[in-house]
Every structure is written in C-alpha cells, then in structure tokens.
Amino acid sequence: MNISTQKLLEQLADGQYHSGESLGELLGISRAAIWKQLQALQTLGVNVQSVKGRGYCVEGGLDLLHRAEIEKGFNELIGDADSKLTKLIVENELDSTSQYLIKMSAQGEAIHGWVCFAEKQSAGRGRRGRVWQSPFASNLYFSIGWRIHSGVAAVEGLSLAVGVCLCEALEHFGFVDLQLKWPNDLLYKNKKLGGILLEISGDAAGECDLVLGVGLNVSMSEKAAEEIDQPWIDLFSIANEQARVLPSRDQLAAHLLHALFSMLRNFEAQGFAQWRDPWQKRNAHAGKEITLHMGAKAQAKRGMMLGVNNSGALLLNTEQGVEAFIGGEISLRSLD
C-alpha cells in the first residue's frame, strides 16, 4: 500500500465525511488520484460511501492498528526481564501472518520474539486445513515466532496454555464466562471467539522455530462471516451483552502479547502442569458426554470429558476406562 492510500485510510478511519477536495489538498494529490486510491481501499474490503455534495466516508469508522501504540502498550505492561519482542510488524494485508514468519524463518531470519499483525489475511489458515476468515480491520490476526531448544516434546500442552493466556488477557478488560474447548478454541456460550494455530519448522527433536498464530473475532460483520461454517461470536457482541467497553484493537493486542510473552518465556523450562488448573477452570466440556473425532478416517471415540492431564492430553472416560488423547476434535454427543 502506498503512502497516500495509507494516509487516506487514516483520514477516513474517523467515520466522518471528507470532501474529495479536502482529501486531495491534505494528501497533495489530484481528485482523480484520490478516486484511484479509494478504489484501492475498496479492493481491501473497506466500504467507502460516496455522497454527492458531502464527499467520502467509511460509515462507523475504522479501528485501525497502530504499530507504535501496540509497542507502547506492550512496553508499559511488560517487565524488563520479559521483554523479548524483537520485531513488531503491522501490515495492511498479508496472505497469512503465520506464513509470513515461516517464510522469514526459512530465509534464515532468527524470528525469535518477532510478532506480525495483519489488518487482513488473504489466505488466513485455521486448524485442519480450514480457512480463517480475515476481513480488513475487523478482528485480530497475529503470529509470534519463538525458538524452541529441546524439541517439540518440550512444548506439549503449549497451545492449551495459549488459550488460558487469551482468556486471562480478555478477563483483564472485565469480560467473563470465556471458555476453552480442547485443545485450543476460545468459546463464549459455545460459539467460537478465537482460534490458535501452532506450526513448527526445523528439527522436531531439537532446535526449531515455533510459529504461534492467533485469530480473535473482535468486530465481525455478518457479511464477512457468511463463509464461517460453525457458530461464532465476536468481542463486540460480548461487550454489548456484558455491558463492557470494547477496548481498542491496539489495547487488546498489547494485553494479549503481554500475556503470551510472559507465558512463553517460562514454558519450555516449566511445562504445562501449572497451566492445567487454569485451563480446567475454563473447560467448556467438563463432565459432558462427548465424541472425539480422530484422523482422516473419521475414527471416533465416545466418553465423558474428564479434563486434561499434566501434558495437556484429553482425559476421556470411555467404556475401556480412562484414556488420554493428544489429538482430535471434540463434538458434543447430543449433536452427533
């Protein structure tokens, strides 16, 4: 995105009408050039209204991400010993923030402590090959790069700990009743609020790069959500329901990063055990009869969800007794 388009975006973010003339003057470009830039914004998915005699406006405004604000918020929260945010990238559009960090790692960059946000992802990916809907300036899509020294086994349960961190960061703003679905979906009243994707590159038994991707629905339009194939919710609706102020996406980003960095710096040494209770406290399926779907052949196992063990494995009370599972997807038995 060129500088004029970015400036135009920032002007229109206030939700007010701006005449073509005033925008042209401000940006030092012709009205025809403004029109071209507006087309570029429409392509990103920004809905610019044009009213004769009044000018251009983005109805409702935009809550844009600001790199400097996120960094400032993060630095205010984090102690010196924690500060490992080595690079903060905020892009308007990427295919996928996780893919970006994986690419950087493959190119030989040391991505430890890198954080990458995008206002929009053109190929956002979810677990199990799903697409993660990522409309412009609506939600949060970000990835963190982290170096693991003693192989993937050392980060067993990490994705569950990430879920706890997301809940704790949101609870800081007063949100309540957030729940976790094993292994790592963030739910509210059984609707999906956020998702976590962990990807690892390098030597799975030794030094490797972890890319931790987080998608959090903040303010999703019905239109953008048309393609989502499961019940979903956004923080905007929860804020309305719980009479809370919706924090800015910059504020949310800073608090989420703070929670995640504080956890990540100790996780490899300390493991999942200390996160087990906080996870179980938020377990959406505790004591429920569930079906665990595993593998491509849709193998399924039924039983009562007991919780998780010290490695984050799901404990299921089946006809064969208590069994531990490290992979699969849960559904409620009554919904099968």
Closer residue to ligand BTN (CB): 74 or 132: 132
| Residue 163 sits in the site that holds ligand BTN (CB under 6 A) | no
Q: Which of 74, 114, 132, 146 binds ligand BTN (CB under 6 A)?
A: 132
Nearest to ligand BTN of 217, 237 (CB atom): 217
Closest CA to 70 of 278, 235, 256, 203: 256
C-alpha dihedral (267, 272, 274, 276), degrees to nearest 10: 150
Whichever of 244 and 293 has its CB closer to ligand BTN, that residue is 293
DSSP string, 247-310: PPHHHHHHHHHHHHHHHHHHHHHH-SHHHHHHHHHTBTTTT-EEEEEETTTTEEEEEEEEEE-T
Query: Any contact of residue 193 with ligand BTN (CB under 6 A)?
Result: no
DSSP string, 81-94: GG----EEEEEEEE
Q: What's at 276, amino acid-wise? A: R
Nearer to ligand BTN, 9 or 197 (CB): 197
Rounded-to-integer distance, Cα 271 and Cα 276, Å: 10
Minimal distance in Å, beta carbon 185 to ligand BTN? 6
Among 125, 181, 276, 285, binds ligand BTN (CB under 6 A): 125
For the CB of residue 325, give the shortest distance to ligand BTN in the complex, in Å. Answer: 18
Residue from 71, 185, 209, 234 that binds ligand BTN (CB under 6 A)? 185
d(CA 331, CA 289) in angstroms, rounded, equals: 9
> Measured between alpha carbons, how far is 77 from 247 in angstroms, rounded to an integer?
16
Q: Which residues are catalytic?
A: 127, 192, 333
Interface residue with ligand BTN, options 136, 141, 182, 325 (CB under 6 A): 141
> Of 127, 244, 293, 302, which one interacts with ligand BTN (CB under 6 A)?
127
Confirm or reject binding of residue 146 to ligand BTN (CB under 6 A). no
Binding mask 65-104 for ligand BTN (x = CB under 6 A): -------------------------------xxx------
Closest to ligand BTN by CB, 123 or 273: 123
> Closest CB to ligand BTN among 143 and 262?
143
- Asked if residue 126 binds ligand BTN (CB under 6 A), the reply is yes
Joined together, the tokens standing for residue 186 give 């963030």
Among 55, 73, 113, 195, binds ligand BTN (CB under 6 A): 195
Instruction: Rule CB under 6 A: choose which of 55, 145, 157, 215 binds ligand BTN.
Output: 215
Q: 132 vs 325, which CB is nearer to ligand BTN?
A: 132
Q: Which residue number has the CB closest to ligand BTN? A: 195
CA distance 62 to 117: 16
Transcribe 23-81 into DSSP letters.
HHHHHTS-HHHHHHHHHHHHHHT--EEEETTTEEEETT------HHHHHHHHHHHS-GG
CA torsion through residues 29, 30, 35, 40, sign: negative
DSSP of 82-131: G----EEEEEEEES-HHHHHHHHHHTT---TTEEEEEEEESS-B-GGG-B
Strands 114-121 and 140-148: antiparallel
- Residue 143 near ligand BTN by CB under 6 A: yes
| Helix (H), strand (E) at residue 165 | helix 158-172
Query: Least distance from C-beta 131 to ligand BTN, angstroms?
Result: 9
Give the separation between CA 315 and CA 319, rounded to whole angstroms: 13
Minimum CB separation of residue 128 from ligand BTN in Å reads 7
Total of chain residues touching ligand BTN, rule CB under 6 A:
20
- Footprint of ligand BTN (CB under 6 A): 96-98, 121, 124-127, 130, 132, 141-143, 185, 195-197, 213-215
